[in-house]
Structure 1
């Protein structure tokens, strides 16, 4: 090979390597630091709000590992219902399904903010029970509004939390990839998913901010850009460019519901997932964003099952074994299984006739989630669902949209 051909070959190979590197997806995860934290599940049960008399609370911990302080903007959030398990998890009549498809367009939000000093960890409880009894020795150092009561007069047992770094002057988003978070959910009394004294933890999903300049000196997510304002105030684009991309699909492993092992424990094992939509409008005059989670399940013999799906709004939760036979032992007949949940656009999420054209608020959104595994009501654990990014979802659907809109009104928001 002559010298010119060799040089050309090296140039082509280098270009290919460079292209593959830059084509890699910047995907948010629960094992990194970031400028945006999403907690897909927050639980705060009051005994008077549920027929089981259960009580629980969630301890939120957030750390700033930077040598500079930062302000955080946070939102509690929840959504009213899910369309296919609206009637207590049973096979709901069309009447209940129609009501629930309307309900998932009703979101509730409440905002608050606080400052993290340099290298400071902080903690706060979502509800009012955490600083009582056994946990009264814990000193929390953030005065967050109680999750249970929203400013529109509604209350909720469970939902999500989103927090991100903002500028102390303009209150707009800034590059600050120094945040990590953890949620600890504690059960103070027996409930249908956990025994008294159970506690489980998961890490917040962290999304790094990216900063670009004409003469790029460092990688876009480098801490050398800490404190720099991002280009679109009051709009967080989770597209892999301004912030890391949110997942285009989620994967989880589980023990099938009604597995015989639960009989010896006098309880039922459950797999519950909680999913936060990364396409969310937190403004006072907000638009709803609806997507459908399409499930595919595989047992240990590599047999796959399809046909399970549910629509979701800004936040979603489901006991998969109660909602779908494909998550039960009688269908799977193996000790372990796994599933993939892919957001899709579908007329099944229409409020009215599902034969009509697809409504304008339905789309393909990106998501992030956690699952709670309960075996016989005796052993409980939680884990982050695995995020799949663009090009890895094995689907013909487009990459899910990730965008968070908010405004700086300085007030707590009610029903959207």
Structure 2
């Protein structure tokens, strides 16, 4: 190939790559900064106010690396019920599963807010035990309402946290792609999730805001030059790749099959998934989707038929819920899965033979995976986000939208 042809080929290839890169929708990521942070798993077991009665807590850390302060609006949230973990399995006529399909439409949330000054890292515990006992030396600089006790009088031991940048009046979202976050889950005593002394952490999923209003300047839509600009839809965060980065259309994780014969005790693979289509208003609407799992072992053999319905937040011990995640089925030391949100009549509250109920849809999701081998070794990681428009996403692009209200929130470090 002569020099002119080589240069032409490089130019064509470069143009193709550039065109593809700009055409692709940007996904939220655990390795970037953003204006919205989602923590898919928060745990505070037995938050009684008594250190000896409590077994775990979650330390939340958030950093603002901007030279400007910012107000954050946050929500603790959880959802009741997992249909196919109900007693009796996932049969459509199982009374336990039917009751659980109703429960996943029950959401609980607690809102709060605080200010993060310029270049400041802040931290706070989800429960009430982190600043007692062994961790009494660790000073946190933000006080927030305790996770687990929600305003509607209910309580829960696990759920999610969502935080995003808002204006000083807390009546609209702003462009502030300077936020990062991390969650550290600590076990103070043996419990159903981990042995005493275990701790693991993961990065918050960060979504960058995009600003398209200033057509006179040639900044990129997510340029820091737009920091502080109001976003166009107050009280509604669109995770569609236009206002904020797109939320994932499918999730991937790798695991050691449950009941592996050489594992110390029983190893577990637990996933916690946050729905990116969530209504956090007082008069909220439920948004139900079904996670359809496909599993591959190390010999490239695939297994299907595992699925669970979820509401705003979901958690499952996959090896307990499905034989396809167990060693007796997979017969290899490692395997991986893909979880794809779908719309299915199996999520109906009543008969699965009836028409699909109106609150069932294809949602976009983010999640984390906790791996536990006999309670002796524990780790967590972010599930890998897959975008839309690929060969494995046969469903429509999942809906990603967070709705919230303008109920006054007192901001500040208390």
Scaled to the shorter chain, the TM-score interval is over 0.9
- Of residues 38-47 and 11-20 in structure 1, the stretch that sits farther from structure 2 once superposed is 11-20
Deviation per residue, 1:270-319 (Å, 9 max, x gap) = 00000000000111111100000000000000000000000000000000
- Cα displacement (A) at 1:19: 3.8
Counterpart for residue 372 of structure 1 = 370
Q: Distance in 2 between matches of 1:126 and 1:299?
A: 37
- Cα displacement (A) at 1:242: 0.3
Question: May I ask how many residue pairs the two structures share in their alignment?
Answer: 398
Question: Which residues in structure 2 correspond to 1:262-277 (within 5 Å)?
Answer: 262=263, 265=264, 267-277=265-275
Deviation per residue, 1:86-109 (Å, 9 max, x gap) = 23x966771011100000000000
Whether the 8 Å CA contact 2:160–2:313 is kept in 1: the answer is: yes
Q: 1:326 to 1:408 in 2, by over 3 A?
A: same
Q: Distance in 2 between matches of 1:408 and 1:269?
A: 44
Q: Distance in 2 between matches of 1:259 and 1:148?
A: 34
Deviation per residue, 1:119-159 (Å, 9 max, x gap) = 00000000011111110111111111000101111110000
Counterpart for residue 22 of structure 1 = 22
- Cα displacement (A) at 1:193: 2.8
Unpaired runs of 5+ residues, structure 2, are 1-7
Q: 1:282 to 1:130 in 2, by over 3 A?
A: same
- Of residues 349-358 and 189-198 in structure 1, the stretch that sits farther from structure 2 once superposed is 189-198
Deviation per residue, 1:301-345 (Å, 9 max, x gap) = 000000000000000000000000000000000000000000000
Counterpart for residue 244 of structure 1 = 245
Counterpart for residue 291 of structure 1 = 289
- Cα displacement (A) at 1:13: 8.1
Q: Distance in 1 between matches of 2:94 and 2:324?
A: 21
Q: 1:55 to 1:395 in 2, by over 3 A?
A: same
- Of residues 108-117 and 216-225 in structure 1, the stretch that sits farther from structure 2 once superposed is 216-225
- Cα displacement (A) at 1:32: 0.3
Counterpart for residue 224 of structure 2 = 223
- Cα displacement (A) at 1:392: 3.2
- Cα displacement (A) at 1:18: 5.4
- Cα displacement (A) at 1:229: 0.5
Q: Distance in 1 between matches of 2:68 and 2:391?
A: 38
Q: 1:393 to 1:33 in 2, by over 3 A?
A: farther
Q: Distance in 2 between matches of 1:170 and 1:48?
A: 32
Q: Distance in 2 between matches of 1:46 and 1:407?
A: 30
Counterpart for residue 3 of structure 1 = none
- Cα displacement (A) at 1:191: 1.7
- Cα displacement (A) at 1:396: 1.2
Match of 1:358 among 356, 359, 376: 356
Whether the 8 Å CA contact 1:189–1:196 is kept in 2: the answer is: yes
Counterpart for residue 5 of structure 2 = none
Q: Distance in 2 between matches of 1:301 and 1:215?
A: 56
Counterpart for residue 393 of structure 2 = 395
4+ residue runs over 4 A deviation = 8-18, 89-93
Deviation per residue, 1:339-360 (Å, 9 max, x gap) = 0000000000000100000000
1:132 aligns with 2:139: no
1:329 aligns with 2:327: yes
- Cα displacement (A) at 1:395: 2.5
Q: 1:14 to 1:331 in 2, by over 3 A?
A: closer
Whether the 8 Å CA contact 1:183–1:203 is kept in 2: the answer is: yes
Q: Distance in 1 between matches of 2:269 and 2:293?
A: 14
Whether the 8 Å CA contact 1:54–1:191 is kept in 2: the answer is: no
Q: 1:134 to 1:220 in 2, by over 3 A?
A: same
- Cα displacement (A) at 1:411: 6.4
Counterpart for residue 168 of structure 1 = 168
